[in-house]
Amino acid sequence: MSDLINYQLEAGIATLTLCNGKVNAISPEVIAAFNTALDRAEQDKAIVIVTGQPGILSGGYDLKVMTSGPQNAVDLVAAGSTLARRMLAHPFPIIVACPGHAVAKGAFILLSADYRIGVEGPFSIGLNEVQIGMTMHHVGIELARDRLRKSAFHRSVINGEMFDPQGAVDAGFLDKLVPADQLLASAQAVAQQLKKINMTAHRNTKLKVRKALLDTLAQAIELDKQLPL
């Protein structure tokens, strides 16, 4: 596997660890490695745990790529959005074990998973696009609209409000919090519980529940390719 994403398979659970520098920037290469890891997990018929390094899941898209030219930015966002849509339709459960900060695309990874566990501590989670001068892309708006609580949606997307871990649970970015030293054990316990469900029923129900969202995201991806970010 790629050095950018470490893949570990044990007892039907595939753990994908992002390893791209201190902020785990999401680059085209990281997205390619992520897709390869999901391919492998699907072949292994494994429940997926996605995690990062101590203190951070991801700080978002690689700003070097985002500022290297409009087409490069559009292409990176399109690839990231396509990955998010794939995660939402993945045939096996995806758990994110968020070890700290999750900003911009890092927070969208949370919104693309089936179960999200965060850690207690002085961490920021949310969508800071408007803080850094980026107009939110269509896919980001629709994904946040679907997965965030209504009371937090406008605060997050329009105001760029960042949340502490408890606030992220209340907003809908996370499902539960645990102490940092219990994060992976907690994720593995959730994965063990999810092993008990019927995976065919899980996949078919997931696709029914998310059909409208997946259709909307497919259209939004095309819109984002046509318009400047």
Per-residue pLDDT at 55: 98
Per-residue pLDDT at 116: 98
User: Which long-range contacts link 150-156 to residues 24+ away (Cβ below 8 Å)?
Assistant: 156/126, 156/127
Q: Is the pLDDT of residue 6 over 60?
A: yes
Confidence category of residue 229, pLDDT binned at 50, 70, 90: low
Per-residue pLDDT at 219: 97
Q: Is the pLDDT of residue 227 over 90?
A: no
CATH architecture of 5-226: Alpha-Beta Complex (3.90)
Cα separation, 224 vs 175, in Å, equals: 29
| 22-to-8, 19, 35, 38, 163 alpha-carbon distances in Å | 21, 8, 21, 23, 21
Confidence category of residue 30, pLDDT binned at 50, 70, 90: very high
DSSP letters for 111-168: HTSSEEEEE-SS--EE--GGGGT-PPPHHHHHHHHHHS-HHHHHHHHTT--EE-HHHH
Confidence category of residue 80, pLDDT binned at 50, 70, 90: very high
Tokens read off for 166: 């408890």
Per-residue pLDDT at 2: 74
Share of the chain above pLDDT 70, in %: 98
Lay out the sheet containing 55-58: strands in order across: 55-58, 100-103, 125-126, 162-163
Show me where the domains of the chain are located: 5-226
Per-residue pLDDT of 138-161, as tens digits, reads: 999 999 999 999 999 999 999 999
Q: What are phi and psi of 20, to 5 degrees?
A: -125, 70
Mean per-residue pLDDT for 29-54? Answer: 98
Q: Is the pLDDT of residue 83 over 60?
A: yes
- pTM comes to 0.96
Mean per-residue pLDDT for 6-14? Answer: 97
Q: Which residue is associated with the tokens 């998010």?
A: 84
Per-residue pLDDT of 170-205, as tens digits, reads: 999 999 999 999 999 999 999 999 999 999 999 999
Q: Which residue is associated with the tokens 């890092």?
A: 106
Q: Is the pLDDT of residue 1 over 60?
A: no
Share of the chain above pLDDT 90, in %: 97
Per DSSP, helices labelled H in the chain are: 28-43, 63-66, 70-89, 105-111, 138-147, 150-157, 165-171, 183-194, 199-209, 211-226
Per-residue pLDDT at 228: 64
Confidence category of residue 24, pLDDT binned at 50, 70, 90: very high
Instruction: Supply the mean pLDDT for the chain.
Output: 96
